Amino acid sequence: MIVTGDFMYYKDFAKIIKQKRKELGISSAEMADLLYISKSRYSKYENAHNEPSFEILCDIILLLDIDILKLIKKEKPKNLKFFD
């Protein structure tokens, strides 16, 4: 997972960024150029084969104007344990 505590589902993130990029008419090569990374590296993010660093994650969210709330899990994970 990208964010500690399983707040983000990586496969959902990959699906969202791919869909949003296409909606905006940006090619994956253009997106990679905007992020100053290789096309193959960006492709791995969109295909859920790799997780971006926090810095790249923030850049992607800003460039694609993604609502961060769409990326945050809405329910408390069942396996989340609190200290007593």
Tell me the pTM: 0.73
pLDDT value of residue 74: 52
List the CATH code of the domain at 10-71: 1.10.260.40
pLDDT value of residue 84: 53
CA angle 65, 60, 32 (to 5 degrees): 125
Predicted confidence (pLDDT) per residue in 10-67, tens digit: 788 888 899 999 999 999 999 999 999 999 999 999 998 888 998 999 999 999 998 8
pLDDT value of residue 82: 58
Spatial contact of 74 and 25, defined as CB atoms under 8 Å apart: no
